[in-house]
Amino acid sequence: MVNNGSSKPASVKERAKTQGWRQSPAVKWVLMALFVLLFYFSLAPHVIPETYDITEGTASEKDIKAPYQIRDEKATRQAEEDAAKKIDDSFSIVQLRNDQLVEQILYRIEQLNMDDQVTVQNKIDIYRSEIPGRYVSHIDAVVKNSKSSGTYNNTLLEEMARLAKEQQYTIPEETFYKMPQLTSEQLSDMRVVAREIVRKLMNEQIREADTARTQVAELVNASSLSNRTAREIVQELARFVITPNKFLDVEKTEEAREQAKLNTPPVVFKEGDIIVKQGEIITPDLYKLLSDSNLLQDKKHYWPQTGLLIMSLMFVVMLYAYLHQSGSIGGVKPKYTNSQLLMLWLIFVINIMTIQIIALTQTDAASYAGFLAPAALGAMLITLLLDLHLAIMGSFIFALMGSIILNTSQTQIFDFKYGFFIIVVSLAAVFSIHRASQRSAILKAGIMVSLFGSLAVMAMLMMSENLDRMPFIYSIAFAFASGLLTAILVIGLMPFFEITFGILSALKLVELSNPNHPLLRKLLTETPGTYHHSVMVGNLSEAAAEAIGADGLLCRVGSFYHDIGKTKRPNYFIENQSNIENPHDTIEPMLSKSIIVAHARDGVEMLKAHNIPKPIRDIAEQHHGTTSLKFFYFKAKKQAEEQGLEINFTEDDYRYPGPKAQSKEAAVVGIADCVEAAVRSLRNPTVEHVEAMINKIIKSRLDDNQYNECDLTLKELDKIAQSLKESIIGIFHSRIEYPDDAQTKEKTETK
């Protein structure tokens, strides 16, 4: 029974469920779980730091090393404080214009002394109250003006006002009694001298006003003033207006200290540094450091594990989605068996393991060693052994994982320069190898990987800011070596996968198609007719298989070996009976049937003895299915009727033992085998004869339920028939009569 492309018969579904571990859904999900575990544990050392079960106040049982760079906050804060303490106080000079103040006081004295309406006593009282007030007003005015102009910060002005008022000089009482005695001429001279003395002293940096005031007497005595009273008053007024002009700038000091803290490098434990030595007591500070660094076995630090598990599941979902779309999960006839999924898992293991090994050679100074990783190994193996599209999808997973495993940075999870490198070399490998037909093609693909990998690395490095010569050369050299290493590993691993999983890669099929293979050479020398027939079947079946999306190369090579069993008794097969009598004419039909059907079983035994892969053995065993040898059945029936014997056998006794075709390829070879023999038997074939014969053979096998156990559809059978017709017309072009030729011949013969 054949499916129309939309549904499967119940018997096929039940059989699919019982085909063993290779098709078991439970085994599929176990393999999916293995993928999750592979991704999780491969990335865990690079993402999840090791944790320790320790308690505060106990001695550490072993050295605890930093899995990555860890900042010691307490030590960093202490270092910052130490740096801040080393910064001296900052002072700022504030110009108070003290010379203007002394000039204003003397000018006021002159005005008041000239006023005859004011008594001497009143003048004294005014001097006693107004002069100290002018000092305070002058300081306040400086503060106000400075704030409005923004010349100095508020903190500095407040400090200036405070110190100026604290160090204000007190004029002796007797000085006020002498002031009314001064004349205008004396005050004029006094203003000049007082102003110069104050300017000279205030040009120096003064923290303590008393220190500067000690110099006033000497400067006054050295001045041009000759009047004793005038000198005494100038001396007291100069002392009075002198103030500090160098003040502690708190804001500037704090800014300098904060800058010093910012400039202090953090105290860190570098990757691999010992944080806690074996036997060291876990102090509260150490415990907090370990806790803050997520190095303690604490439930609240399970986020990295959860995140990695989610990422691993996402990788598997990507695989599942592709496999589901390609019909490998949930279908009756999966595109990939569990055996192939297990092989895919092993490829992932090997590829990830090689990347891990290279990652061990990386250091901070030689991170470019990561470009040596043969990251294209997995993509190349998947392309050769499984599927090109699956290899492309796997390339992206390898790129993501490689960018984590090869990452040497402690500040990010992915290093996409390695991810970009891996995706470039993987895709280069996929598109260089997917049509490979010889082992040497692997080496050529490796060279392509080397070239594209080197170009990718060169491009990335040329775009970076720091282009150091030696790392640049080493990076390109490692990237080039990566491609060659990939080719070597693929060549070495291919036989392992082909033998272990019975995989027939395109390379293996091409090797088996070599005419110098012992079995093909035996077929050619001992049964040339069968050899020619096998080659013709190969041509027909390859085109037909490709028309329905099956493996054309497998059909071709399987056709070469499908009749190898005939070499045991070559003369019993018509294509080898050249100039000899047919031995079947002299033996019983049942014996003839036994000899004919034995060639399938004999062929399987010979193929197994020569370690020919199972898919080819299956074609040899299944290409006849359980079809009937009707010629010998009817011959036996006729002989029994002629001899008057009772017919004690049925047509089923004259059938091949099977099994029926289990794959599209076996079914296609079986149809092509029958069609080629039938066409060869036609004396004057026409296109109509060929087409009718092909349809008859396919319908006969369809009615005989020969396709019940493979997933051929009616639509695919139509495509097979069309392909066979086109191929036969091309191969037997000279023998086939076209309609016009046939009509012409018929008219000629009737004349």
Q: Is 637 exposed, middle or buried (CB count within 10 Å of its CB: 0-12, 13-18, 19+)?
A: middle
**Is residue 417 a contact partner of residue 406, using CB atoms and an 8 Å limit?**
no
- Tokens describing residue 62: 């072993």
Dihedrals phi, psi of 338, to nearest 5 degrees: -65, -30
- Tokens describing residue 124: 């004294």
Q: Is 247 exposed, middle or buried (CB count within 10 Å of its CB: 0-12, 13-18, 19+)?
A: buried
Taking the C-alpha atoms of residue 117 and residue 105, their distance in angstroms, rounded to an integer, is 20
Predicted confidence (pLDDT) per residue in 495-551, tens digit? 888 888 877 777 788 888 888 999 999 999 999 999 999 999 999 999 999 999 888
Amino acid letter, residue 99 = D
CB atoms within 10 A of CB 299: 5
Predicted confidence (pLDDT) per residue in 621-644, tens digit? 999 999 998 888 888 888 888 887
**Is residue 453 a contact partner of residue 425, using CB atoms and an 8 Å limit?**
yes
**Residue ranges, the chain, pLDDT below 50:** 1-18, 328-333, 734, 738-751
Q: Is 114 exposed, middle or buried (CB count within 10 Å of its CB: 0-12, 13-18, 19+)?
A: exposed
Residue matched to tokens 């041009």: 224
- C-alpha Rg value of the chain to the nearest Å: 52
DSSP string computed for 190-212: HHHHHHHHHHHHHTS--S-HHHH
- Tokens describing residue 726: 């086109």
User: What is the reported pLDDT for 39?
Assistant: 94
Taking the C-alpha atoms of residue 347 and residue 503, their distance in angstroms, rounded to an integer, is 14
- Tokens describing residue 487: 């080719």
Which residues are CB-contacts of 688 (< 8 A; sequence separation ≥ 6)? 739
User: What is the reported pLDDT for 5?
Assistant: 38
DSSP string computed for 562-577: TTGGGGGSGGGSGGG-
- Tokens describing residue 249: 């700038």
- The reply to whether the predicted model has a pTM over 0.95 is no
- Tokens describing residue 531: 């050899």
Q: How many CA atoms lie within 13 A of 634 on its CB side?
A: 4
The 3-class SS string of 665-710 reads: HHHHHHHHHHHHHHHHHCCCCEHHHHHHHHHHHHHHHHHCCCCCCC
**Is residue 704 a contact partner of residue 671, using CB atoms and an 8 Å limit?**
no
Closest CA relative to residue 341, chosen from 665, 616, 34, 549: 34
Taking the C-alpha atoms of residue 743 and residue 37, their distance in angstroms, rounded to an integer, is 72
Dihedrals phi, psi of 9, to nearest 5 degrees: -65, 150
- Residue 239, Ramachandran bin (φ over 0: left; ψ between -120 and 50: alpha; else beta): alpha
- Mean pLDDT of all residues in the chain? 84
Taking the C-alpha atoms of residue 64 and residue 276, their distance in angstroms, rounded to an integer, is 5
Question: 184-204 b/e with 16+ CB inside 10 Å = b?
Answer: eebbebbbebbbebbeebbee
- Residue 561, Ramachandran bin (φ over 0: left; ψ between -120 and 50: alpha; else beta): alpha
Residue matched to tokens 């004294």: 124
Length of the chain: 751
- Tokens describing residue 285: 């500070």
Taking the C-alpha atoms of residue 91 and residue 522, their distance in angstroms, rounded to an integer, is 106
Element at 93 (helix H, strand E): strand 91-93
Taking the C-alpha atoms of residue 445 and residue 448, their distance in angstroms, rounded to an integer, is 5
- Tokens describing residue 261: 């803290």
Strands 70-71 and 64-65: unpaired
3-state secondary structure of 737: strand
Closest CA relative to residue 439, chosen from 386, 394, 384: 384
DSSP string computed for 25-82: HHHHHHHHHHHHHHHHHHHHHHHS---B---TTSBPSS-EE-SS-EE-HHHHHHHHHH
Closest CA relative to residue 258, chosen from 76, 92, 87, 90: 87
In DSSP terms, 644 is beta-bridged to none
Strands 274-276 and 64-65: antiparallel
User: What is the reported pLDDT for 674?
Assistant: 92
N-to-C CA span, the chain: 49
Which residues are CB-contacts of 430 (< 8 A; sequence separation ≥ 6)? 379, 380, 383, 388, 391, 392, 395
**Is residue 406 a contact partner of residue 418, using CB atoms and an 8 Å limit?**
yes
Domains of the chain: 10-46+302-503 (no CATH), 91-248 (no CATH), 516-750 (1.10.3210)
DSSP string computed for 498-540: HHHTT---HHHHHHHT-TTSHHHHHHHHH-HHHHHHHHHHHHH
Which residues are CB-contacts of 726 (< 8 A; sequence separation ≥ 6)? 543
Which residues are CB-contacts of 197 (< 8 A; sequence separation ≥ 6)? 216, 219, 220, 223, 234, 238
- Tokens describing residue 112: 């008041």
Instruction: Indicate the DSSP class of residue 152.
Output: S
CB atoms within 10 A of CB 53: 8
Angle formed by the axes of helices 377-385 and 416-433, to 10°? 30
